Amino acid sequence: MTLSHDRTGTGEPLVLIHGLGSARTVWSLVTPALAQNFDVIAVDLPGHGRTPWVAGTPMDPRSLAEAVSETLDALGVRRAHLLGNSLGGWTALELAAAAPDRIASVTALAPAGMRERPLARVSFAFKLNRYLAVALRPLLPQILGSERLRGVGFARNSPVWRTWSIETCRDAAEAMAMSRGYAPALNGILGRMAECTARIAPSIPVTIVFGDTDVVLPPHTSQSRRHLPPHGRWLEWERCGHAIQLDHPARVVALVNEVAGMVSDGRTSAARGPAEG
C-alpha cells in the first residue's frame, strides 16, 4: 500500500507519522521549519486523512509500519529519520526495529504502546471521541468560533490549548470525523505493547517525549520506561499534553534537528546520558 502523503523541503528524508484519529495535517505547525533542513514526507495512515479505507486492512502497529515502508519504497527513499506522535510514534518504533538499515533515527512524541500490561479492552471514552466528531462535524463553524466551546473540546488534552489557532482545532476535529480506520486501529492495539523497542539497533538514536499533562496516555498506565531501549533517551516536557507538536512546535523542530545531528556526528542518544528528564 502506498499511503497518501505530502512532500516538501530538501535534505535527508524525514517521515512524519500521525496518531490515531488524526491526519498529516497535524504536522502543519512544524513542517515549514523542518523543511528547511529535511525532505519532509508526511503520510496519512490507512483510513485516515486522504488514504482510503479498505475493509480488512490490518491496522496493528507492525502492519502500519509495513505500510510506511512500502510507501518509502514507492518514493525511492532508502533511509529516513522518523517523527511520530501517539500511534504514529509506536509505528515509528516498529519500523526502526523491523528495518534498521533504512531508519536513521526515531523521535517518538507520546508514543502509544508504552504500557506495563497490554490493553485488554477499548475504553468507551475513545469510541465516544469519534462518535462526537462525526455527529458534530456540521456544527464545527459555530463551535470553533466560540473560545468557550473550543475549550470544551480541547482543554482536557492540552494545558496550552488557547495557543492553538481555530485552523489547528478545525484540522484536528475534521481529521477525527473522517478517520474511518479509527475503530480498526483501536482494535489493532489490543493485546499488544511496543516490545519491538528491545530489537532497535544501538546505532539508531531513539528519543521518547511525553508531556507532563498527557491524559490520553497517562503515566500510571501508558508510560512504562521498561520499553525504552538501553541506548534511548526519555524526556518529559512541562506544560505539554498529548499532541506535543501542537503544544510546542518550535521545541519539536529543535529536538528533531538535534536527534538528526546525533546521526551525522556518529552519536546515539546514550551518548547524552540515560533517560534524561
Mean pLDDT of 134-144: 93
Residue 272, pLDDT score? 44
8: closest CA among 43, 44, 32? 32
Report how far apart the first and last C-alpha atoms of the chain are (Å, whole number).
38
Residue 271, pLDDT score? 46
Mean pLDDT of 231-241: 98
Residue 276, pLDDT score? 47
Buried b or exposed e, range 37-55, using 16+ CB within 10 angstroms: bbbbbbbbbbbbbebebee
User: Does position 275 have pLDDT exceeding 80, yes or no?
Assistant: no
Could you tell me if 232 and 106 are in contact, meaning their C-beta atoms sit under 8 angstroms apart? no
**pLDDT single digits (tens) 180-219:** 999 999 999 999 999 999 999 999 999 999 999 999 999 9
**pLDDT single digits (tens) 149-172:** 999 989 999 999 999 999 999 999
Q: How far apart are CA 171 and CA 21, in angstroms?
A: 11
Q: Which three cell numbers stand for residue 30?
A: 512544524
- Going by pLDDT thresholds of 50, 70 and 90, the confidence category of residue 269 is low
**pLDDT single digits (tens) 10-42:** 999 999 999 999 999 999 999 999 999 999 999
Distances in whole angstroms, Cα of residue 84 to Cα of each of 1, 57, 60, 228: 19, 21, 15, 15
Which residues fall within 8 angstroms of residue 150, CB to CB, at 6 or more apart?
Answer: 143, 144, 161, 164, 166, 169
Q: Which three cell numbers stand for residue 88?
A: 504514529
User: Does position 101 have pLDDT exceeding 80, yes or no?
Assistant: yes
**pLDDT single digits (tens) 53-69:** 999 999 999 999 999 99
Name the pTM for this structure: 0.95
- Going by pLDDT thresholds of 50, 70 and 90, the confidence category of residue 226 is very high
Domains of the chain (ranges; CATH) run: 5-272 (3.40.50.1820)
